[in-house]
Amino acid sequence: MGEKYKGGCACGAVRYKIDAEPLMGVHCQCRDCQRASGTGHGSFMAFPVAEAKFKGKIKTWDKKSDRGNVVSRTFCSKCGSPINAANEAAPTLIFIHVASLDDPARFEPKAVMFASSACAWDLVDPALPKYEGVPPGL
């Protein structure tokens, strides 16, 4: 069975493939995701970290979250495109930026995280369950 998901950065210097189905798709409205995305939220698909294979030069930026755990965000060292995030509180997961997928239409959001930080103008699907923090099971 070949890779199920492929993607990379805007300039093509970073590429990845993931040989697994996503465990969850979420929109995150925390302030860090707003700043990292340049808009009202970040959209991510969570995968088992062991299934993600990367090529190219990636830079990492670490920051302590409001909960005290370190969140690592990666981006292309050439064009700066965000690629993924990892959270030390969930070491077996990798959170892929949906915009980095070759086919972002495959994204199926199931929840909104950190909805309490939402900007009034950031309108996500009102039918999605909204959580003040991290959804159960993630």
CATH of the domain at 29: 2.170.150.70
Confirm whether 129 is domain-assigned. no
Helices (H), 1-138: 31-37
Confirm whether 123 is domain-assigned. no
pLDDT at 135: 82
DSSP of 69-108, one letter per residue?
A: -EEEEEEETTT--EEEEEETTSTTEEEEEGGGBS-GGG--
Domain count for the chain, please give it.
1
Confirm whether 82 is domain-assigned. yes
Confirm whether 127 is domain-assigned. no
Question: Which pair of structure tokens corresponds to residue 21?
Answer: 């189905």
Confirm whether 78 is domain-assigned. yes
The domain of 112 spans 5-117
Written as tens digits, the pLDDT of the chain (138 aa) is 456 999 999 999 999 999 999 999 999 999 999 998 999 999 999 999 999 999 999 999 999 987 788 999 999 999 999 999 999 989 999 999 999 999 999 999 999 999 999 999 999 999 999 999 888 766
CA 78, CA 56: separation in Å to the nearest integer? 10
Residue 18: count of CB within 10 angstroms of its CB = 22
97 has which bridge partners? 44
